[in-house]
Structure 1
Amino acid sequence: MNYTLHQLDVFAKVARLQSVTKAAEALHLTQPAVSIQLKNFQDQFNIPLTEIISRRLYLTDFGREIAQAAEKILYEAHAINDRTLAHKGLLYGKLTLSVVSTGKYVMPYFLSGFMQAHEGIELVMDVTNREKVVDSLANNEVDFALVSILPKQFNLNYLDLMPNKLYLVGRGVNQAEHTDKDPRLLETLPLIYREAGSGTRSMMETFIADHQLVVRKRLELASNEAVKQALLAGLGYSIMPLIGIRNELLDNDLQIIPIRGLPLQTSWMLTWHKAKQLSPVAQAYLTYLQANKESTIQQWFDWYERF
Protein backbone atom coordinates (compact mmCIF):
# COMPACT_ATOMS: atom_id res chain seq x y z
CA MET A 1 0.00 0.00 0.00
CA ASN A 2 1.32 3.41 -0.95
CA TYR A 3 -1.68 5.74 -0.75
CA THR A 4 -1.31 9.36 0.28
CA LEU A 5 -3.27 11.56 2.65
CA HIS A 6 -4.46 13.50 -0.40
CA GLN A 7 -5.89 10.31 -1.93
CA LEU A 8 -7.57 9.46 1.37
CA ASP A 9 -9.07 12.94 1.49
CA VAL A 10 -10.38 12.67 -2.08
CA PHE A 11 -11.88 9.22 -1.48
CA ALA A 12 -13.47 10.30 1.81
CA LYS A 13 -15.07 13.29 0.10
CA VAL A 14 -16.35 11.18 -2.80
CA ALA A 15 -17.71 8.64 -0.33
CA ARG A 16 -19.44 11.32 1.73
CA LEU A 17 -21.02 13.08 -1.26
CA GLN A 18 -21.42 9.99 -3.48
CA SER A 19 -20.44 12.10 -6.46
CA VAL A 20 -17.13 12.85 -8.18
CA THR A 21 -18.51 16.17 -9.45
CA LYS A 22 -19.64 17.34 -6.01
CA ALA A 23 -16.38 16.16 -4.45
CA ALA A 24 -14.42 18.16 -7.03
CA GLU A 25 -16.43 21.29 -6.19
CA ALA A 26 -15.95 20.79 -2.46
CA LEU A 27 -12.19 20.21 -2.85
CA HIS A 28 -11.77 23.05 -5.39
CA LEU A 29 -10.31 20.58 -7.90
CA THR A 30 -11.27 19.70 -11.45
CA GLN A 31 -13.40 16.64 -12.01
CA PRO A 32 -10.63 14.86 -13.99
CA ALA A 33 -8.17 15.48 -11.13
CA VAL A 34 -10.53 13.86 -8.64
CA SER A 35 -11.20 10.95 -11.00
CA ILE A 36 -7.44 10.32 -11.40
CA GLN A 37 -6.84 10.37 -7.63
CA LEU A 38 -9.81 8.08 -7.07
CA LYS A 39 -8.51 5.62 -9.68
CA ASN A 40 -4.98 5.67 -8.23
CA PHE A 41 -6.42 4.95 -4.80
CA GLN A 42 -8.68 2.17 -6.12
CA ASP A 43 -5.76 0.52 -7.97
CA GLN A 44 -4.13 -0.25 -4.61
CA PHE A 45 -6.96 -2.63 -3.67
CA ASN A 46 -8.02 -5.88 -5.28
CA ILE A 47 -11.63 -5.32 -4.20
CA PRO A 48 -13.81 -2.58 -5.75
CA LEU A 49 -14.49 0.45 -3.56
CA THR A 50 -17.27 1.93 -5.71
CA GLU A 51 -19.73 0.87 -8.36
CA ILE A 52 -21.79 2.78 -10.92
CA ILE A 53 -25.47 1.83 -11.22
CA SER A 54 -27.77 3.82 -13.52
CA ARG A 55 -25.07 6.50 -13.75
CA ARG A 56 -24.99 6.95 -9.97
CA LEU A 57 -21.97 6.22 -7.80
CA TYR A 58 -22.38 3.87 -4.84
CA LEU A 59 -19.91 2.52 -2.29
CA THR A 60 -19.45 -1.21 -2.05
CA ASP A 61 -19.51 -2.78 1.43
CA PHE A 62 -15.71 -2.81 1.33
CA GLY A 63 -15.70 0.80 0.15
CA ARG A 64 -17.78 1.85 3.16
CA GLU A 65 -15.27 0.19 5.50
CA ILE A 66 -12.36 1.95 3.80
CA ALA A 67 -14.23 5.27 3.89
CA GLN A 68 -14.70 4.96 7.66
CA ALA A 69 -11.02 4.12 8.09
CA ALA A 70 -10.03 7.06 5.87
CA GLU A 71 -12.07 9.48 8.02
CA LYS A 72 -10.30 8.23 11.16
CA ILE A 73 -6.84 8.54 9.57
CA LEU A 74 -7.57 12.05 8.31
CA TYR A 75 -8.89 13.09 11.73
CA GLU A 76 -5.71 11.89 13.44
CA ALA A 77 -3.52 13.56 10.80
CA HIS A 78 -5.25 16.89 11.40
CA ALA A 79 -4.97 16.35 15.15
CA ILE A 80 -1.20 15.89 14.84
CA ASN A 81 -0.96 19.17 12.94
CA ASP A 82 -3.15 20.94 15.51
CA ARG A 83 -1.07 19.64 18.42
CA THR A 84 2.12 20.81 16.72
CA LEU A 85 0.71 24.29 16.29
CA ALA A 86 -0.60 24.34 19.86
CA HIS A 87 2.87 23.53 21.20
CA LYS A 88 4.15 26.50 19.22
CA GLY A 89 1.56 28.67 20.94
CA LEU A 90 -0.31 29.30 17.68
CA LEU A 91 -4.06 29.58 17.14
CA TYR A 92 -5.31 26.62 15.14
CA GLY A 93 -8.56 25.12 13.89
CA LYS A 94 -11.17 25.76 11.22
CA LEU A 95 -13.12 28.93 10.44
CA THR A 96 -16.29 28.32 8.41
CA LEU A 97 -18.31 30.98 6.61
CA SER A 98 -21.24 31.07 4.22
CA VAL A 99 -21.26 34.18 2.03
CA VAL A 100 -23.91 35.54 -0.35
CA SER A 101 -22.53 35.61 -3.87
CA THR A 102 -21.90 39.36 -4.07
CA GLY A 103 -20.08 39.09 -0.75
CA LYS A 104 -17.12 37.59 -2.61
CA TYR A 105 -16.18 41.18 -3.44
CA VAL A 106 -16.21 42.05 0.29
CA MET A 107 -15.32 39.14 2.55
CA PRO A 108 -11.77 38.31 1.37
CA TYR A 109 -10.56 41.79 2.38
CA PHE A 110 -11.93 41.34 5.89
CA LEU A 111 -10.18 37.96 6.14
CA SER A 112 -6.73 38.50 4.66
CA GLY A 113 -5.03 40.16 7.65
CA PHE A 114 -6.43 37.60 10.08
CA MET A 115 -5.41 34.61 7.95
CA GLN A 116 -1.91 36.00 7.41
CA ALA A 117 -1.48 36.37 11.16
CA HIS A 118 -2.62 32.81 11.96
CA GLU A 119 -1.09 30.17 9.70
CA GLY A 120 -2.69 27.34 11.69
CA ILE A 121 -6.23 28.30 10.70
CA GLU A 122 -8.02 26.54 7.87
CA LEU A 123 -10.62 28.69 6.12
CA VAL A 124 -13.73 27.12 4.57
CA MET A 125 -15.84 29.74 2.77
CA ASP A 126 -18.91 28.79 0.75
CA VAL A 127 -20.05 31.47 -1.72
CA THR A 128 -23.67 30.92 -2.74
CA ASN A 129 -27.06 32.63 -2.97
CA ARG A 130 -28.93 34.04 0.00
CA GLU A 131 -31.34 31.14 0.29
CA LYS A 132 -28.53 28.63 0.78
CA VAL A 133 -26.71 30.97 3.19
CA VAL A 134 -29.86 31.14 5.32
CA ASP A 135 -30.08 27.33 5.21
CA SER A 136 -26.50 27.05 6.49
CA LEU A 137 -27.43 29.31 9.43
CA ALA A 138 -30.60 27.31 10.09
CA ASN A 139 -28.63 24.05 10.16
CA ASN A 140 -25.80 25.52 12.29
CA GLU A 141 -23.28 24.48 9.63
CA VAL A 142 -21.04 27.56 9.83
CA ASP A 143 -19.45 29.89 12.35
CA PHE A 144 -20.61 33.02 10.53
CA ALA A 145 -22.66 34.09 7.53
CA LEU A 146 -22.29 37.25 5.47
CA VAL A 147 -25.60 38.75 4.33
CA SER A 148 -26.96 42.11 3.24
CA ILE A 149 -30.53 41.40 4.37
CA LEU A 150 -30.78 40.09 7.92
CA PRO A 151 -32.88 36.88 8.16
CA LYS A 152 -35.76 37.64 10.52
CA GLN A 153 -36.61 34.05 11.39
CA PHE A 154 -33.56 33.57 13.62
CA ASN A 155 -32.31 35.09 16.86
CA LEU A 156 -29.02 36.49 15.55
CA ASN A 157 -26.10 38.61 16.58
CA TYR A 158 -24.56 40.67 13.81
CA LEU A 159 -21.66 43.00 13.12
CA ASP A 160 -22.03 45.70 10.45
CA LEU A 161 -19.02 45.69 8.15
CA MET A 162 -19.80 48.31 5.49
CA PRO A 163 -22.72 49.73 3.44
CA ASN A 164 -24.21 47.84 0.52
CA LYS A 165 -25.53 50.21 -2.18
CA LEU A 166 -27.52 49.16 -5.26
CA TYR A 167 -27.97 51.32 -8.37
CA LEU A 168 -29.67 50.95 -11.74
CA VAL A 169 -26.78 50.15 -14.08
CA GLY A 170 -26.32 49.65 -17.80
CA ARG A 171 -24.62 50.91 -20.92
CA GLY A 172 -26.49 54.23 -20.55
CA VAL A 173 -29.74 55.71 -21.77
CA ASN A 174 -30.51 58.93 -23.61
CA GLN A 175 -30.09 61.39 -20.75
CA ALA A 176 -31.80 64.15 -22.77
CA GLU A 177 -35.01 62.10 -22.63
CA HIS A 178 -34.56 61.23 -18.99
CA THR A 179 -34.15 64.25 -16.77
CA ASP A 180 -36.71 63.73 -13.99
CA LYS A 181 -35.27 60.48 -12.56
CA ASP A 182 -38.73 58.91 -12.72
CA PRO A 183 -38.74 55.22 -11.60
CA ARG A 184 -41.15 54.54 -14.49
CA LEU A 185 -38.08 54.51 -16.74
CA LEU A 186 -37.69 50.89 -15.62
CA GLU A 187 -40.91 50.06 -17.49
CA THR A 188 -39.22 50.97 -20.78
CA LEU A 189 -35.99 49.01 -20.24
CA PRO A 190 -35.21 45.29 -20.75
CA LEU A 191 -34.33 44.18 -17.21
CA ILE A 192 -31.92 41.46 -16.18
CA TYR A 193 -32.76 39.60 -12.97
CA ARG A 194 -30.79 37.43 -10.57
CA GLU A 195 -32.14 33.96 -9.85
CA ALA A 196 -34.87 33.24 -7.28
CA GLY A 197 -33.39 33.15 -3.77
CA SER A 198 -30.97 36.01 -4.44
CA GLY A 199 -30.93 38.94 -2.01
CA THR A 200 -30.19 41.33 -4.89
CA ARG A 201 -33.27 40.09 -6.74
CA SER A 202 -35.40 40.43 -3.60
CA MET A 203 -34.41 44.09 -3.19
CA MET A 204 -34.95 44.83 -6.90
CA GLU A 205 -38.42 43.22 -6.85
CA THR A 206 -39.36 45.13 -3.69
CA PHE A 207 -38.41 48.43 -5.34
CA ILE A 208 -40.47 47.57 -8.44
CA ALA A 209 -43.47 46.51 -6.35
CA ASP A 210 -43.29 49.58 -4.08
CA HIS A 211 -43.49 51.83 -7.17
CA GLN A 212 -46.21 49.69 -8.81
CA LEU A 213 -44.15 49.27 -11.97
CA VAL A 214 -44.95 46.90 -14.83
CA VAL A 215 -41.56 45.85 -16.14
CA ARG A 216 -40.15 43.55 -18.79
CA LYS A 217 -37.83 40.78 -17.59
CA ARG A 218 -35.47 39.93 -20.41
CA LEU A 219 -33.01 37.57 -18.71
CA GLU A 220 -32.56 35.69 -15.46
CA LEU A 221 -28.99 34.81 -14.50
CA ALA A 222 -27.47 32.89 -11.62
CA SER A 223 -24.74 35.28 -10.45
CA ASN A 224 -23.94 38.98 -10.29
CA GLU A 225 -20.87 38.31 -12.43
CA ALA A 226 -23.10 36.84 -15.16
CA VAL A 227 -25.44 39.83 -14.88
CA LYS A 228 -22.47 42.20 -15.21
CA GLN A 229 -21.24 40.48 -18.37
CA ALA A 230 -24.75 40.68 -19.85
CA LEU A 231 -24.86 44.41 -19.08
CA LEU A 232 -21.47 44.92 -20.72
CA ALA A 233 -22.76 43.10 -23.79
CA GLY A 234 -25.67 45.54 -23.98
CA LEU A 235 -28.35 42.95 -23.26
CA GLY A 236 -30.23 45.07 -20.75
CA TYR A 237 -30.20 46.88 -17.41
CA SER A 238 -30.29 45.80 -13.79
CA ILE A 239 -30.29 47.07 -10.22
CA MET A 240 -26.89 45.90 -9.01
CA PRO A 241 -24.67 46.18 -5.94
CA LEU A 242 -22.02 48.86 -6.38
CA ILE A 243 -19.37 46.64 -4.79
CA GLY A 244 -19.02 44.38 -7.85
CA ILE A 245 -18.78 46.98 -10.63
CA ARG A 246 -15.98 49.31 -9.53
CA ASN A 247 -13.67 48.86 -12.53
CA GLU A 248 -16.52 48.99 -15.04
CA LEU A 249 -17.74 52.31 -13.62
CA LEU A 250 -14.29 53.87 -13.41
CA ASP A 251 -13.54 52.78 -16.99
CA ASN A 252 -16.97 54.07 -18.10
CA ASP A 253 -17.90 50.66 -19.50
CA LEU A 254 -21.07 50.82 -17.39
CA GLN A 255 -22.96 53.85 -16.12
CA ILE A 256 -25.18 54.48 -13.12
CA ILE A 257 -28.57 55.67 -14.34
CA PRO A 258 -30.05 58.10 -11.81
CA ILE A 259 -33.46 57.03 -10.52
CA ARG A 260 -35.45 58.58 -7.70
CA GLY A 261 -35.36 56.23 -4.71
CA LEU A 262 -31.97 54.76 -5.63
CA PRO A 263 -29.51 53.72 -4.40
CA LEU A 264 -31.13 51.07 -2.29
CA GLN A 265 -28.98 50.67 0.79
CA THR A 266 -28.45 47.97 3.39
CA SER A 267 -25.30 46.84 5.19
CA TRP A 268 -22.97 43.92 4.75
CA MET A 269 -23.42 42.08 8.04
CA LEU A 270 -21.53 39.21 9.61
CA THR A 271 -24.16 37.18 11.47
CA TRP A 272 -24.23 34.27 13.91
CA HIS A 273 -26.73 32.65 16.26
CA LYS A 274 -27.00 34.33 19.66
CA ALA A 275 -26.96 30.94 21.34
CA LYS A 276 -23.93 29.70 19.40
CA GLN A 277 -20.83 28.84 21.40
CA LEU A 278 -18.08 30.36 19.30
CA SER A 279 -14.90 28.33 18.95
CA PRO A 280 -11.60 29.97 19.96
CA VAL A 281 -10.89 30.59 16.26
CA ALA A 282 -14.32 32.16 15.62
CA GLN A 283 -14.05 34.32 18.73
CA ALA A 284 -10.56 35.45 17.72
CA TYR A 285 -11.84 36.38 14.26
CA LEU A 286 -14.72 38.38 15.70
CA THR A 287 -12.30 40.25 17.98
CA TYR A 288 -10.04 40.92 14.99
CA LEU A 289 -12.92 42.37 12.96
CA GLN A 290 -14.04 44.64 15.77
CA ALA A 291 -10.52 46.04 16.05
CA ASN A 292 -9.68 46.24 12.33
CA LYS A 293 -12.95 46.88 10.50
CA GLU A 294 -12.41 50.60 9.94
CA SER A 295 -8.79 50.26 8.81
CA THR A 296 -9.83 47.53 6.35
CA ILE A 297 -12.45 49.83 4.84
CA GLN A 298 -9.94 52.67 4.55
CA GLN A 299 -7.34 50.41 2.94
CA TRP A 300 -9.53 48.61 0.40
CA PHE A 301 -12.78 50.52 -0.07
CA ASP A 302 -11.85 54.21 -0.11
CA TRP A 303 -13.34 54.40 -3.67
CA TYR A 304 -16.79 53.41 -2.43
CA GLU A 305 -17.91 56.87 -1.33
CA ARG A 306 -17.28 58.40 -4.78
CA PHE A 307 -20.59 56.96 -5.98
Structure 2
Amino acid sequence: MSFPEVGQIKVAGKLTANAPLAPLVWFKSGGCAEWLFEPKDTADLCQFLEQLPPPVPVMALGLGSNLIVRDGGVAGVVVRLGKAFAQVRKVEDLTLECGGGASGILVSSTARDHGIAGLEFLRSIPGTVGGFVRMNGGAYGREVKDILIDCDVVIRSGEIATLPLSELGYTYRHSDLVDGCFVVAARFRGVAGEPAAIQAEMDRISASREASQPLRSKTGGSTFKNPDGGKAWELVDKAGCRGLTIGGAQVSEKHTNFLINTGEATSAEIEALGEEVRRRVKEQSGVELEWEIKRVGKP
Protein backbone atom coordinates (compact mmCIF):
# COMPACT_ATOMS: atom_id res chain seq x y z
CA MET A 1 0.00 0.00 0.00
CA SER A 2 1.36 3.44 -0.91
CA PHE A 3 0.35 6.91 0.22
CA PRO A 4 1.05 9.50 -2.51
CA GLU A 5 -1.22 12.03 -0.79
CA VAL A 6 1.49 12.61 1.83
CA GLY A 7 3.39 14.66 -0.75
CA GLN A 8 0.60 17.27 -0.77
CA ILE A 9 1.18 18.28 2.85
CA LYS A 10 2.97 21.61 3.30
CA VAL A 11 5.90 21.41 5.73
CA ALA A 12 8.53 23.80 7.04
CA GLY A 13 11.10 21.02 7.27
CA LYS A 14 12.10 18.47 4.62
CA LEU A 15 9.82 15.81 3.10
CA THR A 16 11.52 13.31 0.78
CA ALA A 17 9.93 10.54 -1.31
CA ASN A 18 11.62 7.12 -1.68
CA ALA A 19 14.39 8.01 0.76
CA PRO A 20 17.09 5.32 1.23
CA LEU A 21 17.28 4.29 4.89
CA ALA A 22 20.38 2.07 4.74
CA PRO A 23 22.76 5.06 5.09
CA LEU A 24 20.84 6.17 8.20
CA VAL A 25 20.97 2.89 10.18
CA TRP A 26 23.91 1.18 11.82
CA PHE A 27 23.53 -2.08 9.90
CA LYS A 28 23.80 -0.17 6.58
CA SER A 29 21.15 -2.41 5.03
CA GLY A 30 17.48 -2.29 4.11
CA GLY A 31 15.14 -0.52 1.74
CA CYS A 32 13.67 2.95 1.37
CA ALA A 33 11.13 4.96 3.31
CA GLU A 34 8.13 5.79 1.15
CA TRP A 35 8.37 9.22 2.76
CA LEU A 36 11.07 10.60 5.08
CA PHE A 37 10.03 13.66 7.09
CA GLU A 38 12.58 15.78 8.93
CA PRO A 39 10.57 18.43 10.80
CA LYS A 40 11.91 21.93 11.39
CA ASP A 41 10.65 21.97 14.98
CA THR A 42 7.95 20.56 17.24
CA ALA A 43 5.24 22.81 15.78
CA ASP A 44 6.10 21.55 12.28
CA LEU A 45 5.81 17.94 13.47
CA CYS A 46 2.47 18.60 15.19
CA GLN A 47 1.00 20.33 12.12
CA PHE A 48 2.21 17.57 9.80
CA LEU A 49 0.71 14.79 11.92
CA GLU A 50 -2.55 16.73 12.27
CA GLN A 51 -2.87 16.87 8.46
CA LEU A 52 -1.64 13.31 7.84
CA PRO A 53 -4.54 11.00 6.89
CA PRO A 54 -5.22 8.50 9.71
CA PRO A 55 -4.50 5.37 7.62
CA VAL A 56 -0.91 6.47 6.90
CA PRO A 57 1.54 4.63 9.21
CA VAL A 58 4.32 6.62 10.86
CA MET A 59 7.46 5.60 12.73
CA ALA A 60 10.34 7.42 14.41
CA LEU A 61 13.98 7.05 13.42
CA GLY A 62 16.78 8.19 15.70
CA LEU A 63 20.39 7.20 15.14
CA GLY A 64 19.22 3.90 13.63
CA SER A 65 21.17 1.75 16.09
CA ASN A 66 18.83 -0.92 17.47
CA LEU A 67 16.97 -1.33 14.18
CA ILE A 68 16.65 -3.65 11.20
CA VAL A 69 14.96 -2.01 8.22
CA ARG A 70 13.73 -4.85 6.03
CA ASP A 71 14.74 -4.92 2.37
CA GLY A 72 11.28 -4.05 1.06
CA GLY A 73 11.39 -0.69 2.79
CA VAL A 74 8.90 1.09 5.03
CA ALA A 75 5.44 2.18 3.88
CA GLY A 76 4.06 5.50 5.02
CA VAL A 77 6.21 8.06 6.80
CA VAL A 78 9.48 7.74 8.69
CA VAL A 79 10.09 10.77 10.93
CA ARG A 80 13.67 11.69 11.75
CA LEU A 81 14.29 14.27 14.46
CA GLY A 82 17.41 16.16 13.40
CA LYS A 83 19.55 18.99 14.76
CA ALA A 84 16.57 21.09 15.79
CA PHE A 85 15.75 18.39 18.36
CA ALA A 86 19.34 17.81 19.51
CA GLN A 87 19.63 20.61 22.07
CA VAL A 88 20.55 19.95 25.71
CA ARG A 89 20.41 22.61 28.40
CA LYS A 90 20.43 22.90 32.18
CA VAL A 91 17.04 24.11 33.44
CA GLU A 92 17.57 23.95 37.19
CA ASP A 93 19.97 22.42 39.70
CA LEU A 94 20.90 18.88 38.64
CA THR A 95 18.28 18.84 35.86
CA LEU A 96 18.77 18.81 32.08
CA GLU A 97 16.15 19.36 29.40
CA CYS A 98 17.07 17.29 26.34
CA GLY A 99 15.64 17.26 22.84
CA GLY A 100 14.41 13.95 21.45
CA GLY A 101 17.17 13.96 18.82
CA ALA A 102 20.04 14.47 21.28
CA SER A 103 22.55 11.62 21.56
CA GLY A 104 23.46 9.86 24.78
CA ILE A 105 27.01 11.16 24.36
CA LEU A 106 25.83 14.78 24.20
CA VAL A 107 23.53 14.38 27.22
CA SER A 108 26.21 12.77 29.40
CA SER A 109 28.86 15.29 28.34
CA THR A 110 26.56 18.23 29.09
CA ALA A 111 25.77 16.72 32.48
CA ARG A 112 29.51 16.48 33.19
CA ASP A 113 30.04 20.12 32.25
CA HIS A 114 27.40 21.16 34.79
CA GLY A 115 28.65 18.85 37.56
CA ILE A 116 25.67 16.49 37.28
CA ALA A 117 26.52 12.84 38.01
CA GLY A 118 24.41 9.73 37.48
CA LEU A 119 23.93 10.17 33.74
CA GLU A 120 27.31 8.71 32.73
CA PHE A 121 25.72 5.45 31.55
CA LEU A 122 24.02 7.32 28.70
CA ARG A 123 27.50 7.61 27.17
CA SER A 124 27.26 3.92 26.30
CA ILE A 125 23.77 3.92 24.75
CA PRO A 126 24.06 4.22 20.95
CA GLY A 127 20.92 6.19 20.34
CA THR A 128 18.94 9.37 20.91
CA VAL A 129 16.79 10.59 23.79
CA GLY A 130 13.61 9.69 21.91
CA GLY A 131 14.72 6.09 21.49
CA PHE A 132 16.09 5.37 24.91
CA VAL A 133 13.18 7.08 26.68
CA ARG A 134 10.78 4.90 24.69
CA MET A 135 12.79 1.72 25.37
CA ASN A 136 13.89 2.46 28.95
CA GLY A 137 17.44 2.15 27.66
CA GLY A 138 20.13 1.19 30.12
CA ALA A 139 23.64 -0.08 30.72
CA TYR A 140 26.16 -0.56 33.51
CA GLY A 141 23.50 -1.01 36.18
CA ARG A 142 21.40 2.06 35.35
CA GLU A 143 18.26 2.68 33.29
CA VAL A 144 16.39 5.73 32.00
CA LYS A 145 13.73 5.20 34.66
CA ASP A 146 16.38 6.02 37.30
CA ILE A 147 16.90 9.58 35.97
CA LEU A 148 13.75 10.58 34.05
CA ILE A 149 11.42 13.22 35.49
CA ASP A 150 9.02 13.53 32.55
CA CYS A 151 8.91 13.73 28.76
CA ASP A 152 7.07 15.65 26.04
CA VAL A 153 5.34 13.38 23.54
CA VAL A 154 3.63 14.24 20.25
CA ILE A 155 0.92 11.67 19.54
CA ARG A 156 -0.35 10.49 16.15
CA SER A 157 -3.13 13.09 16.04
CA GLY A 158 -0.59 15.92 16.33
CA GLU A 159 -1.38 16.77 19.95
CA ILE A 160 1.42 17.21 22.46
CA ALA A 161 1.41 16.01 26.07
CA THR A 162 3.84 15.94 28.98
CA LEU A 163 3.97 12.54 30.65
CA PRO A 164 5.53 11.97 34.08
CA LEU A 165 7.70 8.93 34.79
CA SER A 166 4.80 7.27 36.63
CA GLU A 167 2.69 7.11 33.45
CA LEU A 168 5.26 5.42 31.22
CA GLY A 169 4.82 1.89 32.55
CA TYR A 170 8.53 1.13 32.47
CA THR A 171 9.81 -2.42 32.70
CA TYR A 172 13.02 -3.92 31.31
CA ARG A 173 13.61 -2.33 27.87
CA HIS A 174 9.92 -1.46 27.56
CA SER A 175 7.50 1.41 28.05
CA ASP A 176 3.76 1.80 27.52
CA LEU A 177 4.26 4.50 24.87
CA VAL A 178 2.20 3.56 21.84
CA ASP A 179 3.52 3.22 18.30
CA GLY A 180 3.22 6.36 16.22
CA CYS A 181 4.06 8.80 19.00
CA PHE A 182 7.28 10.79 19.25
CA VAL A 183 9.33 11.76 22.29
CA VAL A 184 10.41 15.31 21.41
CA ALA A 185 11.96 16.25 24.78
CA ALA A 186 12.72 14.84 28.21
CA ARG A 187 13.92 16.08 31.59
CA PHE A 188 16.61 14.09 33.42
CA ARG A 189 17.78 14.62 36.99
CA GLY A 190 21.11 13.47 38.42
CA VAL A 191 23.09 14.11 41.58
CA ALA A 192 25.89 16.55 42.34
CA GLY A 193 29.33 15.42 41.21
CA GLU A 194 32.77 16.64 40.26
CA PRO A 195 33.34 16.99 36.51
CA ALA A 196 36.70 15.20 36.72
CA ALA A 197 35.15 12.20 38.49
CA ILE A 198 32.24 12.14 36.03
CA GLN A 199 34.68 12.16 33.11
CA ALA A 200 36.67 9.34 34.69
CA GLU A 201 33.53 7.21 34.91
CA MET A 202 32.66 8.01 31.29
CA ASP A 203 36.19 7.02 30.26
CA ARG A 204 35.83 3.73 32.16
CA ILE A 205 32.55 2.99 30.38
CA SER A 206 34.03 3.85 26.98
CA ALA A 207 37.05 1.62 27.55
CA SER A 208 34.85 -1.26 28.69
CA ARG A 209 32.66 -0.99 25.59
CA GLU A 210 35.65 -0.75 23.28
CA ALA A 211 37.18 -3.87 24.80
CA SER A 212 34.05 -6.03 24.75
CA GLN A 213 31.85 -4.89 21.84
CA PRO A 214 32.34 -4.77 18.04
CA LEU A 215 31.89 -1.00 17.91
CA ARG A 216 33.78 -0.54 14.64
CA SER A 217 31.57 -3.00 12.75
CA LYS A 218 28.23 -2.47 11.02
CA THR A 219 26.07 -3.72 13.86
CA GLY A 220 22.79 -2.99 15.61
CA GLY A 221 23.80 -3.05 19.26
CA SER A 222 22.45 -5.67 21.65
CA THR A 223 20.33 -8.08 19.64
CA PHE A 224 18.36 -9.91 22.33
CA LYS A 225 16.99 -8.94 25.72
CA ASN A 226 18.63 -10.59 28.71
CA PRO A 227 16.23 -13.24 30.05
CA ASP A 228 15.32 -13.26 33.74
CA GLY A 229 18.35 -14.27 35.74
CA GLY A 230 20.57 -14.78 32.70
CA LYS A 231 22.71 -13.18 30.02
CA ALA A 232 21.71 -13.43 26.36
CA TRP A 233 25.33 -13.58 25.18
CA GLU A 234 26.09 -16.58 27.40
CA LEU A 235 23.10 -18.51 26.05
CA VAL A 236 24.10 -17.68 22.46
CA ASP A 237 27.67 -18.79 23.15
CA LYS A 238 26.59 -22.05 24.82
CA ALA A 239 24.42 -22.82 21.80
CA GLY A 240 27.54 -22.74 19.64
CA CYS A 241 26.60 -19.62 17.70
CA ARG A 242 29.78 -17.55 18.11
CA GLY A 243 30.90 -16.63 14.58
CA LEU A 244 27.84 -18.25 12.95
CA THR A 245 27.08 -16.78 9.52
CA ILE A 246 24.22 -16.55 7.04
CA GLY A 247 25.29 -14.80 3.86
CA GLY A 248 27.02 -11.58 4.85
CA ALA A 249 25.58 -11.60 8.38
CA GLN A 250 27.59 -12.94 11.31
CA VAL A 251 27.27 -13.43 15.06
CA SER A 252 30.13 -11.36 16.45
CA GLU A 253 33.19 -13.27 17.64
CA LYS A 254 33.83 -10.47 20.14
CA HIS A 255 30.38 -10.29 21.76
CA THR A 256 27.83 -12.95 20.89
CA ASN A 257 24.79 -10.74 21.56
CA PHE A 258 25.80 -8.61 18.57
CA LEU A 259 25.05 -9.38 14.93
CA ILE A 260 27.26 -7.72 12.34
CA ASN A 261 27.09 -6.97 8.64
CA THR A 262 30.46 -8.17 7.37
CA GLY A 263 30.09 -6.37 4.06
CA GLU A 264 27.02 -6.50 1.86
CA ALA A 265 24.56 -8.42 4.04
CA THR A 266 20.88 -7.95 3.32
CA SER A 267 18.48 -7.23 6.12
CA ALA A 268 16.85 -10.58 5.34
CA GLU A 269 20.15 -12.34 6.08
CA ILE A 270 20.63 -10.42 9.32
CA GLU A 271 17.11 -11.20 10.53
CA ALA A 272 17.36 -14.85 9.44
CA LEU A 273 20.59 -15.18 11.40
CA GLY A 274 18.89 -13.78 14.49
CA GLU A 275 16.05 -16.27 14.12
CA GLU A 276 18.51 -19.14 13.69
CA VAL A 277 20.28 -18.06 16.88
CA ARG A 278 16.93 -18.00 18.70
CA ARG A 279 16.14 -21.50 17.40
CA ARG A 280 19.48 -22.93 18.52
CA VAL A 281 19.29 -21.29 21.94
CA LYS A 282 15.76 -22.66 22.49
CA GLU A 283 16.93 -26.12 21.42
CA GLN A 284 20.04 -26.03 23.64
CA SER A 285 18.73 -24.33 26.80
CA GLY A 286 14.95 -24.15 26.51
CA VAL A 287 15.09 -20.34 26.73
CA GLU A 288 13.21 -18.34 24.10
CA LEU A 289 15.23 -15.18 23.50
CA GLU A 290 13.29 -12.00 22.77
CA TRP A 291 14.49 -9.54 20.16
CA GLU A 292 15.70 -6.25 21.60
CA ILE A 293 16.41 -4.90 18.11
CA LYS A 294 13.28 -3.55 16.44
CA ARG A 295 12.51 -4.92 12.98
CA VAL A 296 10.40 -2.77 10.66
CA GLY A 297 9.21 -2.69 7.07
CA LYS A 298 8.40 -5.21 4.36
CA PRO A 299 10.53 -8.29 3.58
TM over 0.5: no
Structure 1 length-normalised TM: 0.24
TM-score relative to the length of structure 2 = 0.25
Higher Rg = 1
